[in-house]
Structure 1
Amino acid sequence: MVSVQEVMDIMEGFAPKHLAEDWDNPGLLVGSPAQRTERIVCCLDVSDGVVQQAIEADAHLIVAHHPLIFKAMKNVRTDLPLGARIAKLLKHDIAVIAAHTNLDIAEGGVNDVLAEAIGVGKLSSFVIEQQDEDGRPASLGRIGTLPTPMTIADFAAQVREALPTAHVRYVDAGPRPVRKVALCSGSGAEFIGRAAALGADAYVTGDVRYHDAQHAAELGLHVIDAGHFGTEFPVVASLRQRLADALTERKRTVEVIADTQSEDFFHVI
C-alpha cells in the first residue's frame, strides 16, 4: 500500500506545484494525506465514469490532470453534478490529486508527451512562464522540428493518426512546408502570434475559434486544432507508467490503472 502523501511527494518530483499558474488549483482536492490505497487511477478528468472505475477497482486515489474543484465553492449541493461526485468520492474514501498547469509545463509532462506522439523533436521553450529551481526556463508548450518537411495536409493526417481523436481541423496558410512546429496542449489559441513570431511553420493546439484561425492565416501560420481532449489525453498513459515505475522503485506494491472510461465530448457525423 501507499499513502496519498507519498504519491503527492512523487508527483512533486514529476510536476512541482510551484510551476503551476497563479489561477490554477493543483494538489490534494479531496481526501486526506493519510489515506492509504493499493490501487490508483490516472485520468484526464474526474468524471462520473472515472469515479465508478475507481470504485469497481477498489482504488482509493485518483490522480487527474484537470482539477475536480477549480473555482471557490460556497456550498456542496449533492443534487448537482459536482456536489454529487464529491459526495460519492467521500462515501467510498477516494482521494483526488490534480496536476494541471504544473504538469503542462513540467519536463516529461503533457506537452512533451504530445510532441513525441506527433513526431516533433529537438524541443525548446515556447511560452516561458518562469524559471525552475535550477534557473532553466519553464515553458508552457514546446517548439521543435519534424525529421523532414511535410505538407500541412500530410502533417494534419499524421497528427490525427497519432492522437485519440476522430478528426482534426487545420488552417492551410499556403504552400509553406511544415518543418518547425510549435505546440501547446489543451487550449492555446492565444499563443498563435507567439508561434508565428518564433518562426513556426505550423502550430498544434486545441479549442481554436474562427477568428483565431483567421489571425493565423493572415500571419501565414498553419494551425492544427486536434481538440482539447486529443492533445491532452495521451499524458494519462505516460503518467500511469511514471507513477508505477516510481512506486516500484520505492518497493510499494500498488497497482496503477489508466482511465478507460473517458472519450472526447465531441463527435463528428
Structure 2
Amino acid sequence: MVKCQDVMQAMERIAPRRLAEAWDNPGLLIGSPADEVRKILVALDVREETIEQAIEDGCDLIVAHHPLIFRGLRAVRTDDATGRKIARLIRADIAVFAAHTNLDSAAGGVNDVLAERLGLVSPVSLLDGAADGEPGLGRIGELPAPLSLEDFAAFVKTHLGLSALRVVCAGGHAVRRVALCGGSGAEFIGRAAAKGADVYVTGDVKYHDAERAVGLGIHVLDAGHFATEQPIVASLAARLSSALGKAVEIVAETRSSDFFQTY
C-alpha cells in the first residue's frame, strides 16, 4: 500500500506539471494526497465503464490522461454526466488524478509512445520545448525507408489497430519524414509542413484543416483522437508499476473503445 501523495510524486517525475499548457487542469481532481492506495487503474478517460471497472476491480485511484474536470464547477448535479461520475466516485471512495498535456509533452509520454509505435527513427519535438529543455508537443522523425502514402496508411492502420482512417493526399510524393501529434493536433499542420514532414499523423482533422494541408503540400492521416492516444495507457501502467514497486497493484483499463465507429 502507498499513499496517493506517493503516486502524485511518481507522476510528477513521469510527467512534470510544469509541462502542462496554461489552459489545462492536470493533477489530483478527486480525493486527498493522504488517501491510502492499494490498486490503481490507468485509463485514457474517466468514463462510466472506467468507473465500473475501477469499482469491480477494487481500485482506490484512477490515473487518467484526460481530466474529468476541465473548468470550474458551479454545481455537482447527478442529472449531469460529469456530476454523476463525480458523485459515484466519491461514494465509492475512488480518487482521480490526471496527467494531460504534460503527459503529451513529457519524454516517454503520449507522443513518444506513438512515435515508437509508428517506427520513427530518432524522433524530436515538433514544437519548441515546453520548459527547461524538456520535449514539447508533437514529434517528428524519419521512417527507416520511404513508403508510398498508401503503404504508410496501411502500416498505421495495422499498428494502431484501426479498421479505417481518413487520408488527405497532397500529391504524389512518398513518405519518409513523419510528424505526429497524439489526440487533437490539426493546429500544428503548418509547423509540420515547415519542418519538412511528408505526412502528419493526428486526430480530429476538420475539412478546412485538410484544405490547408493540401495547399502546403503535406499528406495528413487522421487516425482518430482515441487511437493516437490509447497506446499511452499500457505504457504508463508499466512505468508506474516500475516506479512504485510491489507496494501497489496497477492495471490498465480495458473496457473503453473509440466513440466513433465506421460502417
Whether these two folds match at TM > 0.5 is yes
Residue 190 (str. 1) matches residue 187 (str. 2): yes
Aligned partner of 1:121: which letter?
Answer: V
Residue 259 (str. 1) matches residue 253 (str. 2): yes
Moved over 2 A (4+): 129-132
Residue 178 (str. 1) matches residue 148 (str. 2): no
In the alignment, is the contact (CA less than 8 A) between 1:29 and 1:96 conserved in 2? yes
Give the aligned partner of residue 152 of structure 2. Answer: 155
Partners of 1:257 and 1:137 in 2: CA distance: 28
- What SS does the corresponding residue of 2:130 show, helix, strand or coil? strand
In the alignment, is the contact (CA less than 8 A) between 1:164 and 1:234 conserved in 2? no
Aligned partner of 1:170: which letter?
Answer: V
Partners of 1:169 and 1:119 in 2: CA distance: 20
In the alignment, is the contact (CA less than 8 A) between 2:39 and 2:60 conserved in 1? yes
Q: Deviations over 1:182-236 (max 9, x none)?
A: 1011011111111111110010000001111111111110110000001000000
Partners of 2:45 and 2:161 in 1: CA distance: 15
- What SS does the corresponding residue of 2:21 show, helix, strand or coil? coil
Residue 202 (str. 1) matches residue 199 (str. 2): yes
**Alignment partner for residue 228 of structure 2, among 205, 228, 231?**
231
- What SS does the corresponding residue of 1:11 show, helix, strand or coil? helix
In structure 2, stretches of 5+ residues that fail to align are none
Give me the identity figure in percent: 57
Deviation, 1:72, is: 1.0
Deviation, 1:137, is: 4.6
Partners of 1:258 and 1:125 in 2: CA distance: 27
- What SS does the corresponding residue of 1:205 show, helix, strand or coil? strand
Give the aligned partner of residue 60 of structure 1. Answer: 60
Aligned partner of 1:63: which letter?
Answer: V
In the alignment, is the contact (CA less than 8 A) between 1:164 and 1:233 conserved in 2? no
Partners of 1:263 and 1:137 in 2: CA distance: 31
Alignment of 1:233-248 (within 5 A): 233-248=230-245
- What SS does the corresponding residue of 2:247 show, helix, strand or coil? coil
- What SS does the corresponding residue of 1:186 show, helix, strand or coil? strand
In structure 1, stretches of 5+ residues that fail to align are none
Deviation, 1:246, is: 1.0
Give the aligned partner of residue 91 of structure 1. Answer: 91
Residue 126 (str. 1) matches residue 126 (str. 2): yes
- What SS does the corresponding residue of 1:266 show, helix, strand or coil? coil
Give the aligned partner of residue 4 of structure 2. Answer: 4
- What SS does the corresponding residue of 2:184 show, helix, strand or coil? coil
Q: How many residues align?
A: 263
Q: Give the aligned CA root-mean-square deviation in angstroms.
A: 0.9
Partners of 1:86 and 1:137 in 2: CA distance: 33
- What SS does the corresponding residue of 1:45 show, helix, strand or coil? coil
Query: Which 10-residue stretch deviates more, 107-116 or 72-81?
Result: 72-81
TM-score, scaled relative to structure 2: 0.98
- What SS does the corresponding residue of 1:190 show, helix, strand or coil? helix
